[in-house]
């Protein structure tokens, strides 16, 4: 029985490693993509969700649209109007400007976690059950080799 537990745990750790790498590879690309879309489409929701992780205590994350400007770097046929978003931590006594990178990194990390854990936990449990079932007959009979 001890041999079975050691073998099952070894196989299980290997399976969890493989699952973690595979799901992590998917989530590392999907997370920032989903985070960028979330920050662009639902900015107030996204910034409010990560405000406790980005800003110091007593401040909150505020996103304000800056002045609109024209650029021709995206479209050769004509310019594109862009409105940058200025993100800062605002409190009663202090304002911390230029928090765009930290806020987007936190939104991307949150989206990574939301992609990784809902896949990893159920697949890890299924993997455990499959390995446990596949090794069920192992080491239950004493060996009679002479």
φ and ψ at 37, to 5 degrees? Answer: -65, -40
Query: How many Cα atoms are found within 13 Å in the side-chain-facing hemisphere of 72?
Result: 3
Supply the range of the domain harboring residue 93: 2-134
Asked, for residue 16, whether it belongs to a domain, the answer is yes
Please report the pLDDT score of residue 112 as a whole number.
Answer: 92
Q: Is 41 within a domain? A: yes
Residue 139 in domain: no
pLDDT at position 18 over 90: yes
Banded pLDDT at 71 (limits 50, 70, 90): low
pLDDT > 60? residue 70: no
Is the pTM for the entire model greater than 0.75?
Answer: no
Q: Give pLDDT, residue 12.
A: 87
Span 48-62, average pLDDT:
87
Please answer whether residues 85 and 65 qualify as being in contact, where contact means their C-beta atoms are separated by less than 8 angstroms.
yes
Q: Which residue has the higher pLDDT, 6 or 72?
A: 6
Residue 91 has pLDDT above 70, yes or no: yes
What is the residue-wise DSSP string for 94-118? -EE---HHHHHHHHHHHHHHHHHHH
Number of domains in the chain: 1
Higher local confidence (pLDDT), 71 or 36: 36
What percentage of the chain exceeds 90 in pLDDT?
17
């Amino acid at each position: 029985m001890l041999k079975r537990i050691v073998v099952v745990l070894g196989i299980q750790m290997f399976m969890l490693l493989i699952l973690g790498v595979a799901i992590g590879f998917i989530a590392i690309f999907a997370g920032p993509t989903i985070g960028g879309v979330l920050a662009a489409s639902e900015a107030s929701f996204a910034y409010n969700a990560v405000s406790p992780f980005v800003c110091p205590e007593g401040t909150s994350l505020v996103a304000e649209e800056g002045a609109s400007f024209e650029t021709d770097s995206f479209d050769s046929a004509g310019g594109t109007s862009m409105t940058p978003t200025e993100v800062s931590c605002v409190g009663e006594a202090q304002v911390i400007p230029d928090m765009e990178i930290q806020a987007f990194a936190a939104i991307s990390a949150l989206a990574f976690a939301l992609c990784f854990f809902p896949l990893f936990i159920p697949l890890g449990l299924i993997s455990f059950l499959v390995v446990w079932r596949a090794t069920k007959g192992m080491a239950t009979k004493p060996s009679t080799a002479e």
